[in-house]
Homo-oligomer: A and B are copies of this chain.
Amino acid sequence: MRRLAAVAVALLAAAWVLPLPFPAATAADIIAAPTGVTIPKGYRNWQVVAPSQRDDKDEIRVILGNNIAMRALRAKRLPFPDGAILAKLAWKRVKSAEFDNTFVPGEPQRIEFMEKNAKKYAATGGWGFGRFVNGSPADGKEHGTCWPCHEANVKGNDFVFTRYAR
């Protein structure tokens, strides 16, 4: 029992130090895109794949990955395994009022997810795509634009645009 108590104390200590675990999307997630992709719990706490910026939409973004995706990226292992999820968070690009020539996130524009499930999403390279604006999924027509572009441009990178920024 002493050892059990010691283990319990260690567990409690670990719970304090460790980041909270954020599991991949489960059936408990409620909001679903027409593709079946949901907003994964805790995605805002995922690690960074890379930032990006887009001129025509005047947006600044950051692409995050869940643990499965990050492990694959760091090991440079393609294709991504089932369960890998990438998240893109896009904000309007706004000029900083406090530092010249610098741009920072303004209003959130949308969040997007790519979820790997080779069987479920076999028709779209094993990837399910989900786009959400203000917490609501975009419509089926809009979702139909994801795959053709990924297929045409980044077939050699398992259909993923973003590379891990070292």
Contact = CB atoms under 8 A, between A and B. Distances in A.
Interface string A57-97: 10011101001001000000000000000000101010010
A89 B166 CA distance: 9
A50 interface: yes
A3 interface: yes
A102 interface: yes
A34 interface: no
A105 B166 CA distance: 9
B11 A21 contact: no
27 contacts: A7-B8, A7-B11, A17-B67, A18-B18, A19-B21, A44-B47, A45-B47, A45-B70, A48-B48, A48-B64, A51-B53, A51-B60, A51-B61, A51-B105, A52-B60, A52-B102, A53-B53, A53-B103, A54-B102, A56-B100, A89-B165, A91-B165, A98-B153, A99-B149, A104-B162, A104-B165, A108-B165
